[in-house]
Amino acid sequence: MSLLVVGSVAFDRIKTPFGEQDDILAGAATYFSIAASFFTEVSVVGIVGDDFTETHEAIFREREIDLTYLERVSGGKSFRWFGEYSYDFNTRTTHDTQLNVFADFKPVLAPAAAEMTHLFLGNIHPELQANVRKQSQAKIVGMDTMNFWISGTPDSLHEALKEIDLLIINDEEARQLAQEPNVIRAARKIRAMGPKRLIVKRGEYGAALFGENSYFAIPGYPQEDVVDPTGAGDTFAGGVMGYLAATNNTIEDEAALRRAMIYGSVMASFTIESFGTDRLLKLTYDEINDRFRTFKAITHFEEHLHEF
């Protein structure tokens, strides 16, 4: 199986109440591909400038991530983003977004990329997402979006949503997209827009999976060491899609999707322990499976009904 992700490869400046760092190698496709690389082969479709050097490339190479389809613009500058977190990490303010080479990004899939079995459309303009979707023959297509597109380009977004197997967004976005304050109702409305399955992320409180007639929810990993939550959502998606691609399950396989969600949460729980991808890059398979087991333990209970 093969997995393709299209999305931003960026440099971030991040400020938290506990520290600040600049020029962090980041972006949705970066977090996604590093997380997915623990499960399967993954290729990145994106665009960077000269500031993306041999040192950055080596980081992807180390994880055997394929950069054949990463476009390089000589004389150009990569996408740059500056975000700041509140004391409890629940609010994020964007101070600066510089699209740079990303502004003219119009991905065209090479034949080998179009044939990849799994595709993830990272958070970019929904017209581009729809365009890439049309070029691909993938059997499972995942997608992300954000409030900016939900309010700014709703028609294009609705078009892009039509041919999607799995949409992964956060609860605020789900409410906004469905124009419905109740998340359960919102999920039903969103699935009627196209996505066969929907995962709603709830930050530190976990995530919920909505299917045909099914509902599954998990808590967040009990994490004490939060340093920088940036990329948690993309890492989550990388774990989910990476697991699905590695195991070749169908989107209808509820048990597999539930496991995928656990792996996504496990991967995200590591990302937030450091600035950028530092923690992810040091990760071992034993650490991943330890946290997978922790999820099993903290969600398990016996069916021992009380005799009233």
Minimum CB–partner distance for residue 77 and ligand AMP (Å): 13
Distance separating alpha carbons of residues 113 and 3, to the nearest angstrom: 9
Minimum CB–partner distance for residue 182 and ligand AMP (Å): 24
Q: Which DSSP symbol is given to 146?
A: -
CB nearer to ligand AMP: pick between 48 and 124:
124
Rounded to 5 degrees, what angle do the CA atoms 297, 298, 302 make?
70
123 touching ligand AMP, by CB under 6 A: yes
Minimum CB–partner distance for residue 183 and ligand AMP (Å): 19
52 touching ligand AMP, by CB under 6 A: no
12 touching ligand AMP, by CB under 6 A: yes
Size, binding site for ligand AMP by CB under 6 A: 15
Distance separating alpha carbons of residues 237 and 20, to the nearest angstrom: 26
CB nearer to ligand AMP: pick between 10 and 143:
10
Q: Where are the beta strands (DSSP E) in the chain?
A: 3-6, 10-16, 19-26, 42-48, 70-72, 79-85, 92-98, 118-121, 140-143, 166-170, 197-201, 207-210, 215-218
Give strand pairing partners of 72. 48
142 touching ligand AMP, by CB under 6 A: no
230 touching ligand AMP, by CB under 6 A: yes
Q: What are phi and psi of 50, to 5 degrees?
A: -65, -20
231 touching ligand AMP, by CB under 6 A: yes
195 touching ligand AMP, by CB under 6 A: no
Judged by CB under 6 A, which stretch of 180-188, 189-197, 226-234, 280-288 contacts ligand AMP? Answer: 226-234
Smallest CA-to-CA distance from 134 within 121, 152, 150 is with: 121
Among 5, 6, 27, 174, binds ligand AMP (CB under 6 A): 27
28 touching ligand AMP, by CB under 6 A: yes
84: its two tokens: 């700041």
8 touching ligand AMP, by CB under 6 A: yes
Among 10, 113, 227, 266, binds ligand AMP (CB under 6 A): 10
228 touching ligand AMP, by CB under 6 A: no
How many helices (H) and strands (E) the chain has is answered by 12, 13
Give strand pairing partners of 202. none
Judged by CB under 6 A, which stretch of 8-16, 38-46, 182-190, 246-254 contacts ligand AMP? Answer: 8-16
Task: Answer yes or no: are the C-beta atoms of 143 and 112 closer than 8 Å.
Answer: no
Using CB under 6 A, list all residues that contact ligand AMP: 8, 10, 12, 26-28, 81, 97, 123-124, 230-234
